[in-house]
Each structure stands twice: as C-alpha cells, then as structure tokens.
Structure 1
C-alpha cells in the first residue's frame, strides 16, 4: 500500500466520521452499535473500504431528513438488520467455522487411516 493510498483512506474515514457526527443523537448511537457489531461479526470486505458503512449513513441521513426515528429505519431488531445487510458476504465467523471443520476432517481422516 502506498502512502498516498493511506492518506486518501484517512481522509475518506474522517469525512465518514463527520457525516455520522452530523446525524441526530439516536441515529449516532445505533450507528455505533451497528459498527461494533459489523467489526466483530461482519464481512471480511468491511476492512477493505467503507462502502457498507457509507450506505448505512446514507440510509440514516435519508431517514433523519424525513423525520423518522432510527428504529423506524432499521426495525426494532438492529442485529437482524445487520445480519440482513451481510447475509451474502463471507464473515470472519464463516472462516473460523471452515477452519474448525477442516481440522475435524483431518482428524477423522487420520483416525480412519490408522484402522
């Protein structure tokens, strides 16, 4: 990664954070919880850019502009909202489950080879 890419990435992130801070307080709280959830469970691609997070901010800005409460936008189950956003994306949890499955397959193969 070049220095220019790093600088541009930081500029984009700062602009993104400024957009979040401009949201109403209830939207900011829910956004931060969504962000935590996605960074913990979310898609591998999330670390490669802010497209998903920017899309959420776009949605929140539209909701706030139309006078809706944040839960009217996301629904009352915010975790389900997040899961719907990433349902077709490979997550770190998926990678972990695959590695466990591969480990179990290797162990089972060794056991059958010994017999």
Structure 2
C-alpha cells in the first residue's frame, strides 16, 4: 500500500511539473518560485501538498488562458499571496500534534516561578 501510494504521488507530481512547464515563461517562472516557497512548508503539509500544487497550477493555467497579468493574481506582495493560499491547506496530523506538544511544554515551563517563568 505504501509503495503504491508513493508511486502514485510521484506520478501526480510529474503531471504537475509537466503542466507547469507548459505555461508561458513568465507564468512558469512565477509558479516555480511559489513552489520553492511552498516546500518550506511541505513537511508539515505533506498530505495536502499535491492538492495545493494542483490548485496553484490550475490558477496560473486559467490566468494564462485569460491573459490575466501575474500581479492581478499575486498582488503586490507575493509572500502574502502564497501564505494565504497555504493557510487553506491544514497541516498534517503529526505536525498539529507536535505544535500542541510544543505549546504545552512551554506553557508548563513558564507556569512556575523563578528564572525563565512568566511569574518571576
């Protein structure tokens, strides 16, 4: 099952890359830059990564077909654009657990008195 899933994910990703390569140069360059940015979040969103990439390339394929300027898509702040898009894809379960664990540990560590606590 794991191997089958990995093979299908690789095929899915290869289709995404082919679609990206088919875009006009300026759209392709933008999608590739956004994709690189997304990879910083890939480990925490792995179950949603392919859906996110598909939606990104869908958006740019439509924009290219309609001759929509790139700035009309990403706005003046491409970081804000991609981070907002990423927020639409919840992190995988393991990273949510790790975030909760981190918060719990820091809350416990800062609940007491003495150096490093919030009550010193």
| TM-score, reference length from structure 1 | 0.75
Structure 2 residues not aligned, in runs of 5+: 115-120
CA distance in 2, matches of 1:4, 1:73: 36
The residue number in structure 2 matching 1:14 is: 14
The residue number in structure 2 matching 1:103 is: 105
The residue number in structure 2 matching 1:29 is: 29
2:50 matches 1:50? yes
1:50-80, Cα deviation, whole Å (9 max, x unpaired): 1111011011001001112222222121111
Higher alpha-carbon deviation: 20-29 or 84-93: 84-93
SS in 1 for 2:40: helix
Residues 64-79 of structure 1 correspond to what in structure 2 (within 5 A)?
Answer: 64-79=64-79
Structure 1 residues not aligned, in runs of 5+: none
Deviation at 1:5, TM superposition (A): 1.8
The count of aligned residue pairs is 111
Contact 1:24-1:64 at 8 Å conserved across structures: yes
* Higher-helix-fraction structure: 1
Deviation at 1:42, TM superposition (A): 6.2
| TM-score, reference length from structure 2 | 0.72
Deviation at 1:2, TM superposition (A): 2.7
Distance change >3 Å, CA 95–CA 88, structure 1 → 2: farther
The residue number in structure 1 matching 2:118 is: none
